[in-house]
Chains A and B, each alone.
Chain A
């Protein structure tokens, strides 16, 4: 066997080293995505009837489906509310438990607990929190504001808000850990310098802490956005998208169409919409925000 040229050998080694990751990526990410696009142009195979090419028919049916638009609007509200609120709450909690307060360990534990619980357990827990009349939330609002019983998850006005609250409760503790780590990595000399300069606490936070949390914030933002579209387990357990589709998100609707109605063609078309949306968001995040983030 002739000796390979060093350059060729390096390339070969590089490909070999890359191949496990490439194979996994192709198998579990690229192939399903392409297969989904392919299926979205075909009819649903049923029993003896195979799938046939139908062009854009699935997409036309989807656009004509009012529940699709409801779920799209709900997804927008859900993501737009959970992402900033859970990030802000995470930062506030991290600042709190980073400071020297009494019972710091206990507070950290309390903030982090929701993250450890499985989402299904969380959903069952909150089902009882939201029970009209004697649930925790109603007891609190009645003691504090004298409100009457509210049917939080049974009323279309409040159901989506209730689902958003649970998602934030679940997410914030997880993001707090990243912020906490980032806060502790900021060199204390910078704060000393700020104090020497006579900077106020707000200026210190705005000019020192916040910029140095930039990379962490970007990382958390990417995760929060993905979870904003992905975290729907509690909805499936608690409301199944109801009442009257008030908590129907794109992903819960995909699950319903795909695994309850067994209409894989329409579910594929819906998935393509979700894929395109997430792809665009990722592009915006990396292209626009990365440039404005300080890594040093």
Chain B
């Protein structure tokens, strides 16, 4: 199917064609031409509001585009979705379209799984250039666009205004620099004898500490990888310096819990007033808005040498196993999802950042932002944002960094030594990809 010269349909296509013909005969009025149906793997663990939104998009799309249908399949976490999608692909049954992490781009290219959007029918340069450059950084390599930004986020700082007031800080001003972050956190940390009953700041480090850590490294003015995805600089002194700042928050300043901080329970710690400030994804915005029983603020991450945060979240990818009609359907659907109006509504409903500047110019999003200004923080941070760590053999290289970070945060290794070890491991993993 990957060979465009092959005009003879293979057996599966023939069978699918027969099935479609059967369906067409049975219901000639509905499927006059036999609709092209594509499968769309979408990462969601449980049903709920987001499932309904996606279902709604698929229905609206079918109405607006007769002859094309999208069948969403909800496949769990991002990690599960990647696993399921690649396993299905190896069995010859890949979905036509999937929403996967932007950082999986190199993995998908190595597996020869996806096609670039530039070559698809119905896609054009104007559309592909309409997204925020910060989001495209992780979607392009080798002059081609492999992913279309859809469900994107960045890291932001949330703070509890009540607690700021309680300790005599201005409740409307977040820390703007690394020094202020420590100073504020010191004021906010509450101790009773030996025990800390409230932490000043919490930054999650379970599972994917590298993502939060990229906030620190960007602020310390260092980029962790090159655009080709075959070189990392974990061993750079500025990286160790950034890590030392994170470690010192708990070891020296004692304003941050020691050891590994759980990603999943950090928002809850914030709601329970166990921490006065937290770093987490903008994707948590709607969650915090619903569950915080106190006034809260959202701000860009504090600046070190500069402001900075990684982008994150999911892109849309088209799979090579899709036939030309399915590829066209995928391209149409992606354009449909990323129209400014729809991107704006998506941002309002979920808290994810709308992917194009045009979306922020829509009346709906302007009205929402006037009523709830935190919705704009992530966008305003985008000019300072960098691509999330993504390289060839991504999962392994990321693990090398994660292990080093956790070793330093749990006190097993000194920051510089830990990053040196991560660099050595990453060098070893990336060697095969440097030969070109």
| Contact status of A48 and B410, CB under 8 A, knowing A131-B265, A154-B206 | no
Does B260 touch A at the CB level, under 8 Å?
Answer: yes
Q: Mostly helix, strand, loop or mixed at chain A's interface?
A: loop
Nearest 10 pairs of A and B residues by beta carbon: A47-B112, A154-B260, A151-B259, A243-B406, A244-B406, A154-B259, A244-B407, A243-B260, A155-B259, A260-B395
B261-281: CB near A (< 8 Å → 1, else 0) gives 110110011001010000000
Q: How far is the CA of A52 from the CA of B206 in the complex (A)?
A: 37
Q: How far is the CA of A132 from the CA of B406 in the complex (A)?
A: 17
Chain B residues 321-377 with CB under 8 Å of chain A are none
- The A-B contact count (CB < 8 A) is 83
In the complex, besides A47-B111, A149-B195, A242-B207, 14 extra interface pairs with C-beta distance below 8 angstroms are A46-B110, A127-B262, A128-B265, A134-B272, A148-B195, A151-B258, A151-B259, A154-B205, A154-B261, A155-B259, A240-B206, A242-B206, A256-B399, A259-B83
Does B55 touch A at the CB level, under 8 Å?
Answer: no
Q: How far is the CA of A112 from the CA of B86 in the complex (A)?
A: 38
Tell me, rounded to whole Å, the shortest Cβ–Cβ distance linking A225 to chain B.
28
Cβ of B410: which chain A residues have Cβ within 8 Å of it? 154-156, 243-244
Does A15 touch B at the CB level, under 8 Å?
Answer: no
Q: How far is the CA of A245 from the CA of B260 in the complex (A)?
A: 13
Does A250 touch B at the CB level, under 8 Å?
Answer: no
Contact of B110 among A47, A148, A243, A260 (CB under 8 A): A47
Tell me, rounded to whole Å, the shortest Cβ–Cβ distance linking B79 to chain A.
7
B262, A154: Cβ atoms closer than 8 Å: yes
Tell me, rounded to whole Å, the shortest Cβ–Cβ distance linking A82 to chain B.
23
| Contact status of A46 and B195, CB under 8 A, knowing A151-B258, A243-B410, A260-B83 | no
A262, B86: Cβ atoms closer than 8 Å: yes
A35-53: CB near B (< 8 Å → 1, else 0) gives 0000000000011100000
Does B391 touch A at the CB level, under 8 Å?
Answer: no
Q: How far is the CA of A47 from the CA of B321 in the complex (A)?
A: 13
Chain A residues 246-290 with CB under 8 Å of chain B are 256, 259-263
Cβ of B52: which chain A residues have Cβ within 8 Å of it? none
Which residue of chain B has the shortest Cβ distance to A155 in the bound complex? Answer: B259
Q: How far is the CA of A278 from the CA of B200 in the complex (A)?
A: 49
Cβ of B206: which chain A residues have Cβ within 8 Å of it? 154, 239-240, 242-243
Cβ of B205: which chain A residues have Cβ within 8 Å of it? 154, 243
A151, B260: Cβ atoms closer than 8 Å: yes
Contact of A261 among B195, B259, B396 (CB under 8 A): B396
Does A76 touch B at the CB level, under 8 Å?
Answer: no
Q: How far is the CA of A149 from the CA of B272 in the complex (A)?
A: 15
Tell me, rounded to whole Å, the shortest Cβ–Cβ distance linking A233 to chain B.
13
Tell me, rounded to whole Å, the shortest Cβ–Cβ distance linking A44 to chain B.
11
Tell me, rounded to whole Å, the shortest Cβ–Cβ distance linking A52 to chain B.
14
Chain A residues 46-62 with CB under 8 Å of chain B are 46-48
Q: How far is the CA of A46 from the CA of B264 in the complex (A)?
A: 34
Which residue of chain A has the shortest Cβ distance to B265 in the bound complex? Answer: A131
Chain B residues 396-422 with CB under 8 Å of chain A are 396, 399, 402-403, 406-407, 409-410, 412
For this complex, 28 residue pairs linking A to B, each with C-beta atoms less than 8 Å apart, are A46-B110, A46-B112, A47-B111, A47-B112, A47-B113, A48-B112, A127-B264, A128-B265, A131-B268, A134-B272, A134-B274, A149-B195, A151-B257, A151-B258, A154-B262, A155-B258, A240-B207, A242-B207, A242-B260, A242-B403, A243-B205, A243-B406, A243-B409, A244-B406, A245-B403, A256-B399, A260-B395, A261-B395
Cβ of B83: which chain A residues have Cβ within 8 Å of it? 259-260
